[in-house]
Amino acid sequence: MHKQAKKERTLIIVKPDGIQRALIGEIVGRYERVGLKLVGVKMMIPTEELIEKHYTLDPEWRMKTGLKTIKGYQDKGLVPPITDPLEITAKVLKNLISYMTKGPIVVMVWEGAHAVQIVRKLTGGTEPLTSDVGTIRGDFVLDSYSLSDGDKRAVRNLVHASGSVTEAKDEIAHWFKKEELFDYNLFMDHITYGTDLSEILGN
């Protein structure tokens, strides 16, 4: 396997509810035990600008999220309250900014083979109501879009996880300076990726 493939990186944010619910250890533990490596971590109370920039790094995000939200209503047989996708996103973003700046968050970078996809799998789908059992969002939180939209707030889903390798690259550069990330070896890497396990029993 190409060395670079084992160095895929992804960005995770434990959102304010994750910290208030005392779930930092549980969340970190799930990414750690699968074999991923923590290569950067920081805690902060983010500014509104930092959060807005995070969600709009992809210039298409506003349109995509608006269309996805409208489709979500239609799939449930409901009529979206607003039909303009950008107007819907403006509301989603306003709620997200308000939610994400209410207290400290923990921002992390995890590294390993297929890091982006593995982390998404462990994190679960965006809406806790339908996130799979066994995922972080499926196991530890019970929110839904209907509940959060009705209360005019962001859906509480504990974590942010990059959605693609490109998104991860942009998000990591947004949150971390180069010197805040660490390139190091874990002895466990040999068990995770090694082709010769003869050292377990010695010669």
**Where on the chain is the footprint of Mg ion (CB under 5 A)?**
163
What does the binding site for ligand GDP look like in residue numbers (CB under 6 A)?
A: 65, 68-69, 72, 92, 96, 126, 145, 148-149, 154-155, 157, 160, 163
Judged by beta carbon distances under 5 to 8 A according to partner kind, the member of Mg ion, ligand GDP, none in contact with residue 143 is: none
Nearer to Mg ion, 138 or 163 (CB): 163
Whose Cβ is closer to ligand GDP: residue 81's or residue 104's? Answer: 81
Picked from Mg ion, ligand GDP, none, the partner binding residue 65 (CB below 5 to 8 A depending on kind) is ligand GDP
Alpha-carbon span 80 to 13, nearest angstrom: 29
Q: How far is the CB of 71 from ligand GDP (least distance, A)?
A: 8
Instruction: Give the shortest CB-142-to-Mg ion separation in angstroms.
Output: 20
116 binds, among ligand GDP, Mg ion, none (CB under 5 to 8 A by kind): none
At 1, which amino acid appears? M
Q: What residue 105 binds from Mg ion, ligand GDP, none (CB within 5 to 8 A, per partner kind)?
A: none
User: Catalytic site residues?
Assistant: 160
- Complex with ligand GDP: residue 39 or 154, whichever CB lies closer: 154
Contact by Cβ (8 Å): 158, 140: yes
- Comparison of 33 and 76: residue with beta carbon closer to ligand GDP: 76
Query: In whole angstroms, how close is the CB of 64 to ligand GDP at the nearest point?
Result: 8
